[in-house]
Chain A
Amino acid sequence: MKIATSIRSFLSETGSVARFVYRYLQELLSPRYEVRQFIRQCFIIGYNSLPLIGVTGFIMGLVLTMQLRPTLLTYGVVSKLPVMVSLAIVREIGPVISALIFAGKISSSMGAELGSMKVTEQIDAMEVSGTNPFKYLIVTRVLAATLMLPVLTIMSDAIGLYGSYLGVNIRDHTSLNLYFFEVFNTLHFGDVLPAIIKTFFFGFAIGIIGCYKGYNSSKGTEGVGRAANSAVVISSVAVFIIDLLAVQITDVLGLN
């Protein structure tokens, strides 16, 4: 009985999310376009997330290099450190770690902000003021998240590779030119493009889940808290599921 209820509630929620996505696509294409609000959201979502994602990327690059070095040393291929680290960062670690940090920062704030706006009737006030709140609040946020995460990922990759360069120089000595020559010699468009393309989907999933949870939060402070919490949890899981699908697709296309 309990399982049947859970399945029913899961399917009902999935249907509700699908309708939300459909409405998003409808509203995205129809005027009026909230350009000013979209640019504001790009600043809040993109620019304000850069320090956090940059620091994380730097630490990941540095730590990965220091962790890999002893193993490569054992096999006498320590010179392949830039090759391994760059492939790991660009293909997998950069996009996924950036997306998870992004989910933690953005999805929760979207859930909490929209949830409290709903509780305090601000969304109703917007509608009364002749504004389509879905377009003004949801479309701008989801679009900004979709477009900003790839940019942040590229920056995080670059900062991570620089961290890796510093990691190499802790024990050995190599020039920045030589390090990045090795990196660019290794990477192909087949490594970079699928990794960047999947970040658009990560960003979209994070934005839509955060907004869905906030926009549909129940009344009261508890509802707002639950919206913020479940937005982070579900969007983090969604990142891994999309990553899994992306790997399967790139494998079928022969890009792995």
Chain B
Amino acid sequence: MMTTTENIKQEAVANNNAPVIVIKDLKKGFGNRIVLNGFSIELKRGESLVILGKSGSGKSVLIKCIIGLLQADSGTIEVLGKNIDRLDHKHMDELRSHIGFLFQSNALYDSMTIRQNLQFPMRRHLGDLSREEVNRRVIETLTNVGLAQTVDMMPSELSGGMQKRVALARALILNPEIILYDEPTTGLDPITGREISKLMTDIQHKYRTSSIIISHDMNCVKRTADRIALLVNGVCYALGTYDELSTSDDENIKQFFE
């Protein structure tokens, strides 16, 4: 009998041109406040899609719905051909092993070393790996983000930019097909922000990932976006490339590019 991982991989190969994420008419509210009000979008394979919107417009809620941290009120989310609403806990965890998530606050486990932080998802998803293989992948992934020397340090000993890189390494450790970035450059100085943006594009090419990036840092957006979706009043207000949107006459769009 075929395992779910093999299933997902084979389907992905078979549908190489199919979108990796399809969101249809997504609605999500908290109490009386409606955050997402019929949001629809598709993420193509290998694409880097930036979701742009004001603070509190529901960008983070959107990617938390995609990863299953929040439950949508209605609408459908298909990730790698699987409708996440219909997945039980076990299969959702299985699907999550194909998705990397970079948290806004990095979310590194502060009671663990960097090595243990990176080992954590591997031990959970790939429990049968040998200790040598686990260590090899930890060092390899840290080397890819330029921080192999920090492997036995604690997260509190690292600067904000270094923590972001380690968090990115943790998101990459399972070789995910999709990476979701929640405001990757927020709180970083412009130089470090540029370095992280460059790292994101490098990773995109090296690991051949598809990504959704939540950001309102226009430097990061310009550097990383293949397409930009504008989230206004809970819906996808505009969708296009950086050049298309930055030359738009629409006031709602222009204000982001001024």
Contact = CB atoms under 8 A, between A and B. Distances in A.
Interface of A: 120-122, 124-132
A121 B109 contact: no
A121 B121 contact: no
18 contacts: A120-B105, A120-B110, A121-B103, A121-B105, A122-B108, A122-B109, A122-B110, A124-B103, A125-B108, A127-B69, A128-B99, A129-B96, A129-B120, A129-B121, A129-B125, A130-B121, A130-B125, A132-B89
Contact of A125 (B97, B101, B125): B101
B67 interface: yes
A125 B93 contact: no
Interface residues of B, number: 22
Given A126-B120, A129-B120, 15 more contacts: A120-B107, A121-B104, A121-B105, A122-B107, A124-B107, A125-B107, A126-B109, A127-B68, A128-B96, A129-B125, A130-B93, A130-B96, A130-B125, A131-B120, A131-B124
Contacts of A130: 93, 96-97, 121, 124-125
Nearest to B99: A128
Contacts of A131: 120, 124
Interface of B: 64, 67-69, 89, 93, 96-97, 99, 101, 103-110, 120-121, 124-125
Given A128-B67, A130-B97, A121 B125 contact: no
A136 B88 CA distance: 19
A69 B108 CA distance: 56
B107 A121 contact: yes
Contacts of A121: 103-105, 107
Nearest to B111: A113
A4 B148 CA distance: 59
Contacts of A122: 107-110
A132 B97 CA distance: 14
B101 A128 contact: yes
A122 B105 CA distance: 9
A53 to B, nearest CB: 23
Contacts of B64: 124
A124 B107 CA distance: 8
A60 to B, nearest CB: 33
Contacts of B96: 128-130
A189 B57 CA distance: 64
B110 A128 contact: no
Contacts of A128: 67, 69, 96, 99, 101
Nearest to A127: B69
B122 to A, nearest CB: 9
B124 A125 contact: no
Closest 7 CB pairs of A and B: A125-B107, A129-B121, A121-B107, A130-B124, A130-B93, A121-B103, A128-B101
A78 B64 CA distance: 70
Contacts of B109: 122, 125-126
Contacts of A129: 96, 120-121, 124-125
Contacts of B99: 128
A98 B110 CA distance: 29
Contact of A124 (B69, B108, B125): B69
A127 B92 CA distance: 10
A130 B68 CA distance: 11
A129 B172 CA distance: 12
Nearest to B89: A132
Contacts of B110: 120, 122
A124 B124 CA distance: 15
B36 to A, nearest CB: 18
Contacts of A132: 89
Contacts of B121: 129-130
A205 B243 CA distance: 60
Looking at A121, A122, A125, A126, the one whose CB has the most chain B CB atoms below 10 A away is: A125
B137 to A, nearest CB: 15
Contacts of A125: 101, 103, 107-109
B154 to A, nearest CB: 14
Nearest to B67: A128
Nearest to B95: A130
A210 to B, nearest CB: 16
Contacts of B89: 132
